[in-house]
Chain A
Amino acid sequence: DTGVSQNPRHKITKRGQNVTFRCDPISEHNRLYWYRQTLGQGPEFLTYFQNEAQLEKSRLLSDRFSAERPKGSFSTLEIQRTEQGDSAMYLCASSLASTVAGELFFGEGSRLTVL
């Protein structure tokens, strides 16, 4: 399977704990995006990378959220001191910067439940 891979698929945690999600994009894709989706809503943009550079991070929901893509390949999204309002599906997507701007390839998502 050469699509976008996300791990873990499901995470249940207690309030106050830290969680980290990993995304492995399609191998030749240089752009990687993180979105969050809650029930009944469309995906909400969080941040994105071109190679290892984080080009936009002002939409990260708070300073408890951070993302890295250290070698321009996989990326991690960390949420510190989780709150119940962080419960959502976290979607990763990748694309080639040179292709049609609108074609993102999404992973199946990591579902977070904060108790």
Chain B
Amino acid sequence: RKEVEQDPGPFNVPEGATVAFNCTYSNSASQSFFWYRQDCRKEPKLLMSVYSSGNEDGRFTAQLNRASQYISLLIRDSKLSDSATYLCVVTYSGNTPLVFGKGTRLSVIA
């Protein structure tokens, strides 16, 4: 089983829609969780951290369920500019490298 699993998509949604991605991780010792965004042919960039209590940044909401070992990302009021691949990322401690999922591709359509 892969350490981090995501549905690769693509998710094709109209502008204004709400879309949610889930990600599961296999190692219960995982401590920190993140979502990265990667535009086509560009490098990954940190979108947001995922905290145990859940956190929100504008139209983006991230949640963590440790018992079920999954992380979610909710995007409200989708914009064309949200089209990208969203990478789920976990790490086991501050001194271990980030482990990336294969990403979920989102296309927001006018």
Which A residues fall within an 8 A CB radius of B?
Answer: 33, 35, 40-45, 48, 55-56, 91, 97, 100-104, 106-109
Contacts and interface: CB of A to CB of B under 8 A. Distances in A.
Contacts of B42: 108
B102 A101 contact: no
A48 B44 contact: no
Given A91-B43, A106-B45, A101 B100 contact: no
Contacts of B97: 33, 45, 48, 56
**Is the contact region of chain A dominated by helix, strand, or loop, or is it mixed?**
loop
B98 interface: yes
Contacts of A109: 43
Contacts of A97: 94
Q: Which 4 A-B pairs have the closest CB atoms?
A: A42-B100, A106-B43, A102-B34, A101-B94
20 contacts: A41-B102, A42-B87, A42-B100, A43-B44, A44-B100, A45-B98, A45-B99, A45-B100, A56-B96, A56-B97, A91-B43, A97-B94, A101-B98, A102-B46, A102-B49, A102-B91, A104-B44, A104-B98, A108-B43, A109-B43
A100 B93 CA distance: 11
Contacts of A102: 32-34, 46, 49, 89, 91, 98
Interface string B87-110: 101010111111111110000000
A45 B98 CA distance: 8
B29 to A, nearest CB: 14
Contacts of A40: 8, 102
Given A102-B91, A107-B43, 7 more contacts: A33-B98, A35-B100, A41-B103, A42-B100, A42-B102, A97-B94, A101-B32
Of the candidates B32, B87, B93, B94, the one having the most CB atoms from chain A within 10 angstroms of its own CB is: B94
Contacts of B93: 101
Of the candidates A103, A107, A108, the one having the most CB atoms from chain B within 10 angstroms of its own CB is: A103
